[in-house]
Structure 1
Amino acid sequence: MKHLFRKITGTLCLVASLAVAPQALAEDGYTQAKTTFQQANQTQKFFDSAYGYALFPTVGKGGIGIGAAYGKGRVYQGGNYQGDTSLTQVSFGFQLGGQAYSEVIFFKDKAAYKDFTSGSFEFGAQASAVAINIGANAQAGTTGNSVGAGKKAASASYINGMAVFTVAKGGLMFEAALAGQSFTFEEK
């Protein structure tokens, strides 16, 4: 009887851990991405002064002629989790490869936060992001990416109330394409 009880208890613990594991991994992804951005000199001032921000731990992007990107994220205001967001991007033009990166979008004020969290928001083709990368530099944006060797001090300021930063996680993509990122928001 004791042996049967141990087996049942062990099985229940295994099932419970499998159910909790994806949530724990997701939490770790957000924590790791936030820590990475907080440690970068370029974004420290934004965490200190922004009204809020959207954080995407992993955005996957790939293409051959036609490209696409997708990522899930969370929106924070005053340091508090407010809801979920998703990023989609479709691009056309010369592009080849795939990459993964983290992205953070800072909102300067309540108006920019409300624009983003209105339910459906899209960056125009002129929007760009500052890429933060140690040991290499890159320029990433919705208008295209380029990569080079060495160190580069990236700087950014708010444009239309938002500032966007990315950190490369892996992969390589050659691109000369026009693209726009679209976002959805769902309050928690």
Structure 2
Amino acid sequence: MKNLYLSFVAFLFLVGNAWAQNSAKDQRIIEDAAEAKAAFLEQDPSLQAFFDDSFGYIILPNVGKGGLGVGGASGNGVAYQSGSMIGFARMTQVTIGFQAGGQKYSEVVFFEDQAAFDRFKSDKIEMSAQVSAVAAASGASANAKYVDGVAVFTLTKGGLMYEASVGGQQFKFREN
């Protein structure tokens, strides 16, 4: 009986520890997303219209990208609907073509309507080369348009990447 009790206590400790680690990681992603949003708006204040008018959006504050011939990128972020946080997002990307280097950037993906946002939430959003990201700069959002219900903006944080490649981003949604 004593062994059963000790096993149960150890199990509760492990579960609690794993939950605390996930909770701390999620909290850091939330904080980083808020900082990234501020950086996007500082770079281009007219992006506020996208934040205000979109049905929903995700902010990926720390995307890492690298490649040499074959490349990849990934990042975690926060999903918002009507300005309120509803969950978390994970982005992965694979590219093939001429590319060399590494880069770190932030990305915000706006969804024009409920149909586009629902595709994201059901893990059915895969952005191809046809949906190109707009580099956030003063006034860049003024001419940006939604393509298939999605508009993407990036803000480079560091690194250097030479690229002429084709690939796509895939998203996974986890409810809060």
The alignment's TM-score, normalised by the length of structure 1, stands at 0.75
Which structure 1 segments of 5+ residues have no match?
A: 1-17, 135-151
Which residue number corresponds to residue 3 of structure 2? none
Structure 1 counterpart of 2:102, from 98, 104, 108: 98
Kindly provide the CA deviation profile for residues 110-142 of structure 1, in whole angstroms up to 9, marking residues without a partner as x: 1111111112420122110100147xxxxxxxx
Alpha-carbon contact 2:104-2:159 (below 8 Å) kept: yes
- Aligned in 2, Cα 1:78/1:170: closer, same or farther, shift over 3 Å? same
Letter in 2 for 1:32: E
Q: Report matched runs for 1:4-19 at 5 Å.
A: none
- Asked whether 1:49 is paired with 2:53, we answer yes
- Asked whether 1:179 is paired with 2:167, we answer yes
Kindly provide the CA deviation profile for residues 9-68 of structure 1, in whole angstroms up to 9, marking residues without a partner as x: xxxxxxxxx978655543331110011223323412101211110110010000011100
Give the structure with the larger strand fraction.
Answer: 1
2: CA distance, partners of 1:32 / 1:43: 15
2: CA distance, partners of 1:91 / 1:23: 28
Q: RMSD between aligned alpha carbons?
A: 2.1
- Asked whether 1:123 is paired with 2:111, we answer no
Give the structure with the larger helix fraction.
Answer: 2
Which residue number corresponds to residue 13 of structure 2? none
1: CA distance, partners of 2:140 / 2:94: 29
The alignment's TM-score, normalised by the length of structure 2, stands at 0.79
Alpha-carbon contact 1:133-1:168 (below 8 Å) kept: no
1: CA distance, partners of 2:93 / 2:173: 15
CA shift, 1:165, in A, is: 0.3
Alpha-carbon contact 1:38-1:47 (below 8 Å) kept: no
SS of equivalent to 1:128: coil
Which structure 2 segments of 5+ residues have no match?
A: 1-19
1: CA distance, partners of 2:101 / 2:70: 11
SS of equivalent to 2:148: coil
- Asked whether 1:162 is paired with 2:150, we answer yes
1: CA distance, partners of 2:128 / 2:120: 13
